[in-house]
Structure 1
């Protein structure tokens, strides 16, 4: 097993262990991830997402304007983007399967699926990291959207 494979296995084991440590924030009722989950998520984000979505979650310039090939640049995952408008299940599906697979109908995207590279716990950790950077307002809205989509 290579060093990279060992790191990935260790990261997956850590994610599985610490995801059970999530707790509910008493003021808003939102789920708040343990700092170890957020740290793992940041590491995984840096390795798998930052090259397109930016080291600071800022996305690519002019992300709302299609490129010449009709595809859109990578959107930001900070509060200036639209990630916080979507429920966890949809965000997880996009990361796992890729945008084109989720949208369907011939939609083309440069966003690949990471389902063969990242496990569900790792995807959850990445989302925990992204959410940890949002202001309270965006976290609360996204938590409500997630809750409403699962009822």
Structure 2
């Protein structure tokens, strides 16, 4: 009788643990990082990038021609996001905030840019996915350097 009761309690506790774990997974919310090794996140990012970013930054992340020279209106062309650009010189959190809030939120007064804020258009998960897609195109040595810099910026 005591063994049966203990077995029932044990089974009940195990079921409660499974339910709690399932609830935690279901309500954990969207990923809050850009993981270039997460195939699902990268695929989502590739799709969002094609829809929202490629028209300025290029279908192959190549940026606009002469991206380091100001145009006639004084603004800089869209930079590349591949390894030839400077995107990887900025920590993940900065890249996320620039994408969400626009470059104007971080630039010196009077700086103007064609880069819009995407916070009203893209979810946080979509922004992280785009960053994962961009990072997935970088060579491994640049990914390592970028990851170290992003970690250092959190301290």
Q: TM-score, length-normalised on structure 2?
A: 0.77
**Higher alpha-carbon Rg:** 2
**Could you list the runs of 5+ residues in structure 1 that have no partner in the other structure?**
1-15, 23-30
Aligned to 2:104, which of 97, 100, 111?
100
**Regions of 4+ moved over 2 Å:** none
Aligned to 1:60, which of 61, 64, 67?
64
Q: Counterpart in 1 of 2:39?
A: 35
Q: Counterpart in 1 of 2:11?
A: none
- Once residues 119 and 106 of structure 2 are traced to their aligned partners in structure 1, the CA distance between those partners, rounded to angstroms, is 13
Q: Determine helix, strand or coil for the equivalent of 2:106.
A: helix
Q: Determine helix, strand or coil for the equivalent of 1:103.
A: coil
The aligned length equals 126
- Once residues 148 and 131 of structure 1 are traced to their aligned partners in structure 2, the CA distance between those partners, rounded to angstroms, is 18
Q: Determine helix, strand or coil for the equivalent of 2:126.
A: helix
- Once residues 79 and 70 of structure 2 are traced to their aligned partners in structure 1, the CA distance between those partners, rounded to angstroms, is 11
Q: Counterpart in 2 of 1:50?
A: 54
Q: TM-score, length-normalised on structure 1?
A: 0.79
**Could you list the runs of 5+ residues in structure 2 that have no partner in the other structure?**
1-28
